[in-house]
């Protein structure tokens, strides 16, 4: 299996993690290219907490998964992906099937905040909901957003503030078809 070309990586990440299928495509492409940071970004905060996996420990988790299912990377690179019809507005399942291997990606919509300052990400945290971080002042026609940060962040140096939601992987289930 060959690594994806830069254009293929760009295309897979163009839509980011804005739908369950887009998240699957981003993860599949990152896995083919051994882009561990991008792979890790596809997983949700709940999955990371449940499995005790940090960005540093992700390689160990990934190696164990690929040892358990050595053809997984190859299968995912060729699999046909489809969205389960029972999927809803905040939870979904993407099925990837190739030959007798079927992989289910349980996805959840996850809200998060991010603050960038001095050319780097200084805050990146999951949120319960975006609506808790927003306030509308209809008289002024303004929408306000706020995020909790440490006292050492200088607001004059903030380059970007992002409040968004993305689809993230909450679980992966590998099964063999009869």
Strands 101-117 and 80-83: unpaired
Say yes or no: 42 and 71 in one domain: yes
Domain span at 155: 111-164
What CA–CA distance (Å, rounded) separates 32 from 4?
Answer: 7
Claim to verify: residue 102 and residue 116 sit in the same structural domain: no
Residue 1 lies in a domain: no
Q: What is the pTM of this model?
A: 0.79
Q: 6: pLDDT confidence band, cut at 50, 70 and 90?
A: low
Give CA–CA dist 177/97, Å, rounded: 9
Mean pLDDT in the chain?
A: 86
Domain count, the chain: 2
Are 17 and 87 within one domain?
A: yes
pLDDT, mean of residues 100-120? 89
Cβ atoms of residues 111 and 176 within 8 Å: no
Do 104 and 122 lie in one domain? The reply is no
Contacting residues for 155 by C-beta, under 8 A, at least 6 apart: none
Q: Which two tokens stand for residue 58?
A: 């992700």
**Domain assignment present for 157:** yes
Same domain, yes or no: 120 and 46: no
């Amino acid at each position: 299996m060959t690594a994806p070309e830069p254009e293929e990586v760009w295309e897979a990440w163009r839509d980011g993690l804005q739908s369950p299928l887009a998240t699957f495509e981003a993860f599949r492409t990152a896995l083919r290219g051994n882009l561990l940071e991008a792979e890790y970004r596809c997983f949700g905060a709940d999955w990371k907490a449940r499995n005790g996996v940090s960005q540093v420990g992700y390689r160990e988790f990934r190696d164990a998964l690929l040892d358990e299912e050595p053809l997984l990377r190859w299968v995912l690179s060729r699999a046909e992906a489809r969205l389960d019809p029972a999927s809803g507005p905040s939870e979904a399942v993407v099925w990837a099937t190739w030959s007798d291997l079927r992989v289910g990606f349980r996805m959840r919509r996850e809200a998060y905040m991010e603050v960038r300052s001095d050319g780097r990400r200084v805050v990146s945290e999951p949120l319960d909901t975006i609506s808790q971080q927003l306030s509308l002042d209809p008289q002024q026609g303004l929408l306000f957003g706020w995020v909790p940060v440490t006292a050492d962040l200088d607001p004059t140096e903030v380059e970007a503030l992002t409040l968004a939601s993305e689809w993230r992987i909450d679980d992966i289930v590998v099964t063999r078809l009869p």
